[in-house]
């Protein structure tokens, strides 16, 4: 489905405004947490890099630091989802879903539970960190799983709206986030709907 009435930024590449998509997650998950107290955030020792520290500051009682244990984080998130929470769990995409794909597949995808996998620093945008941190396979890995919706926001503003949409979806979601700042091409008024394209 295409939305021809989308309000987008004119002259996108002349626009000096920039932000990373992961910053959109940081804003969006706090906003979602204010709306729905079932939302919790877990991270694997990367609160600041994943922007989860904003949620930690706003809702410390709903923030869980699991340490460097991505497989455990996925299964804890699945358990929380089965008991009515809406967990967003964060790490670098090279490690989640890269390291914990089997746990995501078995405990979240097959069971169709509403947990949101947030793979940060995805793609080659983390060039200086080297090949071990460049998740190039994550979209292919997650699109192969049952029940998953895969979202990759185009900019910081769409990232905020995508986070809110993922919180409401009711089924498993993989959200792919970049590290580096990119031009902002959408506005707060630009509509966002999962599965619907905005025609530029």
The catalytic residues are 70
CA 49 to CA 26: how far, in whole Å?
Answer: 10
Taking the CA atoms of residue 84, residue 88, residue 89 and residue 93 in that order, the dihedral angle to the nearest 10 degrees is: 140
Three-state DSSP state, 25: helix
Helix ranges restricted to H, the chain:
21-35, 53-58, 70-82, 101-103, 138-143, 156-169
Distances in Å between the alpha carbon of 25 and those of 45, 171, 178? 17, 18, 10
CA 198 to CA 69: how far, in whole Å?
Answer: 38
The distance of Cα 116 from the centroid of its chain, to the nearest Å, equals 7
The count of other CB atoms within 10 Å of the CB of residue 69 is 15
Burial class (CB in 10 A: 0-12, 13-18, 19+), 5: exposed
């Amino acid at each position: 489905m295409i939305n021809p009435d989308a309000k987008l930024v004119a002259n996108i590449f002349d626009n000096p405004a920039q932000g990373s998509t992961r910053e959109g997650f940081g804003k969006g998950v706090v906003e979602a947490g204010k709306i729905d107290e079932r939302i919790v955030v877990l991270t694997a020792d990367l609160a600041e890099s994943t922007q989860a520290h904003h949620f930690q500051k706003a809702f410390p009682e709903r923030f869980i630091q699991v340490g460097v244990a991505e497989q455990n984080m996925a299964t804890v998130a699945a358990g929380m989802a089965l008991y009515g929470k809406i967990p967003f769990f964060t790490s670098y995409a090279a490690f989640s879903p890269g390291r914990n794909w089997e746990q995501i597949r078995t405990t979240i995808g097959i069971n169709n539970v509403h947990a949101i996998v947030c793979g940060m620093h995805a793609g080659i945008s983390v060039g200086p960190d080297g090949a071990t941190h460049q998740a190039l396979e994550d979209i292919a890995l997650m699109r192969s799983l049952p029940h998953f919706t895969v979202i990759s926001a185009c900019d910081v503003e769409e990232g905020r709206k995508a986070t809110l949409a993922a919180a409401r979806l009711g089924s498993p979601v993989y959200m792919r986030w970049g590290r580096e700042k990119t031009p902002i091409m959408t506005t707060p008024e630009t509509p966002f709907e999962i599965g619907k394209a905005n025609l530029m």
